[in-house]
Structure 1
Amino acid sequence: MSCSSSSSGSEDEDEGFDSYRKGGYHAVRVGDSFAGGLYIAQRKLGWGQFSTVWLAYDTRSSKYVALKIQKSAPQFSQAAAHEIEVLSAITEGDPANVKCVVRLVDHFKHAGPNGQHPCMVLEFLGDSLLQLIKYNRYKGLELNRVREICKCILTGLDYLHRELGLIHTDLKLENILLYSTINPTKDPTRSGMTPILARPEGNPNGGATINIIEKKLKQRARRAVARISERRASMGGFAAPPKPSRRLDGIDLRCKVVDFGSACWADKLLAEEIQTRQYRAPEVILQSGYSFPADIWSFACIAFELATGEMMFTPKSGQGFSEDEDHLALMMELLGKMPRKIATSGARSKDYFDRYGDLKRIRRLKYRPLDRFLVDKFNFSDTDALEFAKFLCPLLDFEPDRRPTAQQCLQHPWLNVENLTQDEVKSASSVEKMSVGMTNLQIKVGKR
């Protein structure tokens, strides 16, 4: 879970209070001050594996910020030092604040009973795109809204890749935050919240554990209600046609890329296995080397999810095959057979493919091109499906070097559709229909 500067925080289990020990989290109470009184804790925003994040009031600028307080054990301190290095480069390279990437305001160390905690002060941002999808009841967003969000993400990626040489390595809905909260009352500035400048009277020393049983019961009740709602929503099978949603009217869809805890410089890779499972690129699964195109693959998965409300790939292990092999099979069913030279080029290729480039344990695939999938399952119009597939398919090329760069994606006609005349759109659609028709003839249809 990302909690870089999100207002939404985690809706799952809490961080576990046994983690508030030597080397672990720092217990924070409302009104606690940091950096010699410069930042005052207001409320908890969320938590992650390495840190908790608090809304804080910056007494110097009179603005609200997100205060990320890292666990104190040495490995977490090293991770924080790396993230601070990356965020500093990002912020210094974007003085005008136009690159759609989160900004680092300050950093310092805070001494507490559990050790020295590295702290990062980040600009306060709103809800994640995952929260937006949930708010929209897991329905696809109107395509013009998807375009708006995609332009922001690609602007951020272009800056990271081309100007800084950084690979994010963990792009997903949780790691893209809106500029502001969906609910105005949760935004401290828009809601006119009065900052807390001192610890409230009667706040006991055990502030971290106060009312914990009541809080957990409420969380469980909320989750139970949410599960029932989701189950009812899914009983209808296929999704309803995407319709303009009045729910999103008035919401600022500008967004920023956040969470650089696992980001790396392209010339200094940190890990072999990167990316959250559903957004993982084939070259990462096969261990054939990765670079900027891995982020582009994840971006395409995000764009699909925004437009449909569902993840593009949700692999599961089965009888006789692994989650990785199912993931590769799902990719090929939607995108066509993986070229043999790509399928056999990775350190782990022999685990999944035979020497002919066929999967060893999942033998019969049911191919369905992306545009037909969008029409059949999500009720896209033929034109919308063709145009969207035309934008996405090059980003999902099995050969990483053939994927367009973020800069090239920003120039694509689908993202700039308002600049095209209706005749140009119709012309592009007819050409694409011919092209997709030819592609379909080349694909064998079997049954998985």
Structure 2
Amino acid sequence: MVFEVLGENLLSLLRNARRYGNLRDAFSTVKKDTGADTHGSHHSSASSSHSAHDDSADHRREGLPVSLVKQIARQIIAGLAYLHGQCNMIHTDLKPENVLVCIENVEENDNIEHAANRAHTKTTSDESLVQASRSVANSRAPSPSGDAAPQQSAGMDVDSLSGSAAKLTQSLEKDMNGISLASSSDPSASSQAGKSSSSPSRSHGLKDIQTRQYRSPEVIIGTRWDETADMWSCACLIFELLTGDYLFEPHSGGRYSKDEDHIAQIIETIGVFPKKFALSGKYSNELFNRRGELRHIRRLHPFPLSDLLHDEYRFSTKDSREIADFLMPMLEINPVRRSLAKDMLKQKWLQ
């Protein structure tokens, strides 16, 4: 795949924002002479799954400005609407690392940076070239005993390498000339393309899609999934952009698996798994009993999304409610009821 030159990914953007926030807080602390900040800054709802929730924790929000997150969310959801609709594909691994930032006039900026670097590195490059030339000359010089230097080892002959590279280039050009991205002259190839495992018109039962923190309930329990799995990941990504923390970060314990902890966190924050859905997966028996309850985790502490945003991340009551109302349709536990990208574009929060 070939793309235009792009900038950093959203994870880097988040980390830079976090560093900026830390510097700002440090400056404020020194200025006010109030001492070091001792509050934690990492949220993990696992803390409320199986142990008492720390109500005294005052998490510092380390996400991006809400107005910026709205712009990013709108563009990501528009991209998913296009991917799911016209392209008939599912992303399956949406996360901050996989979203890149566009830079205006990137070539102009790149040229300016290269021009600045050239002046600085010219002398060093020239010296390196001289040293390399001397090394080659020395390798071909007679040995101290007066015998001729041994023949160069295979693969080190520049002329031979150049010839091999030219042959490889010609071979690649010949192969590429027979490829058309628009269509295929081979009917069987078109037939196979229509059976792509990325088609949202089909449901799949594969386990290994989505990075853990962005994995949807249907994938965790091993039941059929479709393009709505991307919408679950999208909601988790937007929460992370807003707060700087994962929405779900499961861990395994002595009596329970990481998957069961993940489900426990989802139940606490989003809601109870419908019994029929909970028992529909390949891995359901490992996670739930016959009543649709978790097998090994019994003590759950509900902490709704709007409360999480308000209590731990200090969003206003109004903002917490509006953000939660926007995210919850993408966080429907049953994928059949989960909102599609084309419908999410109409949401008021994005306008």
2:237 maps to 1:293: no
**Deviations, residues 193-252 of structure 1 (Å, cap 9, x unaligned):** 4899xx9872969xxxxxxxxxxxxxxxxxxxxxxxxxxxxxxxxxxxxxxxxxxxxxxx
Question: Who is 1:140 aligned against?
Answer: 63
1:264 to 193, 198, 215: 198
Deviation at 1:263, TM superposition (A): 8.1
Question: Who is 1:89 aligned against?
Answer: none
Instruction: Label 1:137 to 1:323 Cα distance change in 2 as closer, same or farther (>3 A).
Output: same
2:82 to 155, 159, 164: 159
Question: Who is 2:277 aligned against?
Answer: 342
Question: Who is 2:260 aligned against?
Answer: 325
2:290 maps to 1:355: yes
Which runs of at least 4 in structure 1 moved beyond 4 Å after TM superposition?
184-187, 192-196, 267-271
Instruction: Label 1:270 to 1:286 Cα distance change in 2 as closer, same or farther (>3 A).
Output: closer
SS at match of 2:86: helix
Instruction: Give me the identity figure in percent.
Output: 41
Matches within 5 A, 1:58-207: 104=1, 121-137=2-18, 139-180=62-103, 188-189=110-111, 191=113, 193=115, 202=129
Instruction: Label 1:380 to 1:195 Cα distance change in 2 as closer, same or farther (>3 A).
Output: closer
Question: Who is 1:396 aligned against?
Answer: 331
Instruction: Label 1:270 to 1:125 Cα distance change in 2 as closer, same or farther (>3 A).
Output: farther
Instruction: Label 1:193 to 1:163 Cα distance change in 2 as closer, same or farther (>3 A).
Output: farther
Deviation at 1:265, TM superposition (A): 2.7
SS at match of 1:355: coil
**Deviations, residues 365-402 of structure 1 (Å, cap 9, x unaligned):** 00011000101100010000000000001110011011
CA RMSD of aligned residues (A): 2.8
Q: Partners of 1:306 and 1:156 in 2: how far apart?
A: 17
Q: Which amino acid aligns with 1:152?
A: Q
Instruction: Label 1:190 to 1:328 Cα distance change in 2 as closer, same or farther (>3 A).
Output: farther
Deviation at 1:272, TM superposition (A): 3.2
Question: Who is 1:282 aligned against?
Answer: 217
Instruction: Note if contact 1:185-1:191 (Cα within 8 Å) is conserved in structure 2.
Output: no
Q: Partners of 2:317 and 2:132 in 1: how far apart?
A: 62
Q: Which amino acid aligns with 1:191?
A: E
Deviation at 1:267, TM superposition (A): 5.0
**TM-score, normalisation: structure 2:** 0.63
SS at match of 2:262: helix
Instruction: Note if contact 1:140-1:309 (Cα within 8 Å) is conserved in structure 2.
Output: yes
Deviation at 1:339, TM superposition (A): 1.1
**Deviations, residues 320-347 of structure 1 (Å, cap 9, x unaligned):** 1111110000111101211111111111
1:410 to 330, 345, 349: 345
Q: Partners of 2:245 and 2:197 in 1: how far apart?
A: 26
Q: Which amino acid aligns with 1:358?
A: E
Q: Partners of 2:117 and 2:337 in 1: how far apart?
A: 51
Q: Greater RCO between the two (CA within 8 Å, min separation 6)?
A: 2
Instruction: Note if contact 2:217-2:263 (Cα within 8 Å) is conserved in structure 1.
Output: yes
Bigger helix share? 2
Q: Partners of 1:270 and 1:347 in 2: how far apart?
A: 8
Instruction: Note if contact 1:273-1:285 (Cα within 8 Å) is conserved in structure 2.
Output: no
Aligned length: 237
SS at match of 2:350: coil
Matches within 5 A, 1:26-37: none
SS at match of 1:167: coil
